[in-house]
Structure 1
């Protein structure tokens, strides 16, 4: 299935595996790439040396295109950009909007720039600055998320920008891919669905918690880091929501110190990153410190398997996922389901050939849906 996304980044299928911290490592990213989709390596929790080693490990496992997710507001963002440029990484993805200068430098080096956004105005801004595509995440998505549902946000962004839009938040199967294409997207991005694969390094006991969850077990809370954060409800989340401000602050200090040791960052660098994070947002210093707490809480679950000490970021789709396929099996399933969904649409009003070029009714003026000819249909 060829779309603007597949042409832009050079993958076979319009499916993206998102850059989840502590989850999207070399094994998952290379398995995704080998399956014909776009894998995104999460770098925010890595030191510079770890990032370089991880990129090289992915390259040793696959010759397919992949990307690296970066924190645009990190103090060493420039150093990380130099690594991905030097190592020939195809795509740079960002959780926060990169600057105009950062986008220009990446594009000059031949790197495709794909920021993630949660609002139409953010998509318009990065598109005006030269971003090649955007991933737009609706409120159903896991981790830090917004309030607007994908079904409302996605068409807003598609109508607002002239670059490929990738839909995220609430996707896990081929029907969702077809729905996203119908809205005008060039593909879908999935996080929780790729976390729950056999290629994911997340401990089995943690995966079991996800598989056992219902839709109602996925909650949105500000208790972890002061920002809306979607995750599985757990005893720890309940305790954090009940904790007073002082107790939460002490916990945040302890975990921030732990993250400093793991990441190799100095306190001065963490403070500078905190100032950057605070800039332009209505965040107290307590909230900034709580945000520094998050990586260690995620590591406790995603790496150490301690669901009693950590949090489990999750999209709402966790409540409808029931198995752990390999990435190859997942991507093949999604594409097969998409073909079935397309073939089930009324054939007198929609061309059933695969793809995303617009197809017209024989006697109608307006396009009715996706078609793949790439030619003006008869």
Structure 2
């Protein structure tokens, strides 16, 4: 299936595996790439040195194009861009809108720039700055999310920009791919569906929690870092929502100390990142610290398997997924389903 996305980045199928912290590592990314999708490596939880090693590991596992996801507001963003350029990575994606200068630097080096956005105005801004495509995530998506459903947000963005639009939030099968194409998208991006594969490094006990979840078990809370965050409902999330400000601050300091040891970050840098997220929002100091080191809470679940002490970001689709295929099986199934749906639609016509 050829679309503007497949032509832009050189993949076989218009599918993107999103850059999920602690989840989208070399094994999952290379498996997705080998299956014909665009795999995206999550770098926010890596040091610069580890990022370079991870990029080289992916390249050793696949000859297919892949990407790296960056935090545009990170203090070492320039160093990470240098790794992308030096190592010949095909795509740079961003969770927050990159600056005009950062986009220009990447494009001058031949890197395809694909920011993720949650609103039409953000898509219009990065398109005007030279972004090659955008991933637009509706409220169904996991992690930090908005309140507008994909079915409403996607056509708005498609109509507003003249670059390829990749739909995210609520996709897990071939029917969704065809629906997104009907809206005018060039493909779909999936996080939770790729997380729930046998190529995922997430501990089996955590995968079991995802598979057992019903749709109503996936919630949106601001208790973690003051921002709307879609995740699985757990006793730990309930405790965060019940905790007072003093308890939240103590928990935040402990988590921040752990993240500082793992990442090599400084207290000053972590507070700076937290304040950047606080800008324009009513957040306590505990939430500021958690905003800077939310990756530590994710790591507790996604790496250590501690569902009692960590959070599990999740799209609503976790409630309708009940298996763990490998990436190759998943991609083949999605493309087969999409072909069958298109045949049925042609017959109706």
Compute the TM-score of the two structures, normalised by the length of structure 2.
0.98
Return the alpha-carbon distance in structure 2 between the equivalents of residues 197 and 314 of structure 1.
14
Return the alpha-carbon distance in structure 1 between the equivalents of residues 293 and 74 of structure 2.
16
Is the deviation greater in 268-277 or in 330-339? 268-277
- Per-residue deviation, 1:279: 3.7
Tell me what 1:112 maps to: 112
Cα displacement string for residues 121-143 of structure 1 (whole angstroms, at most 9, x for unaligned residues): 00000000000000000000000
Return the alpha-carbon distance in structure 2 between the equivalents of residues 274 and 105 of structure 1.
26
In the alignment, structure 1 residue 289 sits paired with structure 2 residue 292 = no
What are the within-5 Å matches in structure 2 for residues 316-327 of structure 1? 316-327=316-327
- Whether the 8 Å CA contact 2:21–2:43 is kept in 1: the answer is yes
Q: CA RMSD in A?
A: 1.0
**SS of the residue aligned with 1:294?**
helix
In the alignment, structure 1 residue 340 sits paired with structure 2 residue 343 = no
Return the alpha-carbon distance in structure 1 between the equivalents of residues 56 and 163 of structure 2.
30
Return the alpha-carbon distance in structure 2 between the equivalents of residues 221 and 122 of structure 1.
23
- Whether the 8 Å CA contact 2:30–2:39 is kept in 1: the answer is yes
- Whether the 8 Å CA contact 1:253–1:293 is kept in 2: the answer is no
Tell me what 2:255 maps to: 255
- Per-residue deviation, 1:282: 4.9
Cα displacement string for residues 19-48 of structure 1 (whole angstroms, at most 9, x for unaligned residues): 000000000000000001000000000001
Tell me what 2:6 maps to: 6
Structure 1 unaligned segments of length 5 or more: list them. Answer: 350-378
Is the deviation greater in 275-284 or in 26-35? 275-284
Tell me what 2:24 maps to: 24
Structure 2 unaligned segments of length 5 or more: list them. Answer: none
**Whose radius of gyration is greater, 1 or 2?**
1
Return the alpha-carbon distance in structure 2 between the equivalents of residues 345 and 29 of structure 1.
33
In the alignment, structure 1 residue 49 sits paired with structure 2 residue 40 = no
Tell me what 1:354 maps to: none
What are the within-5 Å matches in structure 2 for residues 19-98 of structure 1? 19-98=19-98
Q: Alpha carbons of 1:254 and 1:341: their partners in 2 closer, same or farther (altered >3 Å)?
A: same
- Whether the 8 Å CA contact 2:89–2:111 is kept in 1: the answer is yes
Tell me what 2:127 maps to: 127
More helix by share: 2
**SS of the residue aligned with 2:347?**
coil
Return the alpha-carbon distance in structure 1 between the equivalents of residues 270 and 228 of structure 2.
21
- Whether the 8 Å CA contact 2:271–2:289 is kept in 1: the answer is no
- Per-residue deviation, 1:348: 6.1
**Equivalent pairs, count:** 349
What are the within-5 Å matches in structure 2 for residues 172-251 of structure 1? 172-251=172-251
Return the alpha-carbon distance in structure 1 between the equivalents of residues 280 and 102 of structure 2.
19
- Per-residue deviation, 1:88: 0.3
- Per-residue deviation, 1:315: 0.3
Return the alpha-carbon distance in structure 1 between the equivalents of residues 152 and 266 of structure 2.
42
**SS of the residue aligned with 1:104?**
helix
Is the deviation greater in 240-249 or in 281-290? 281-290
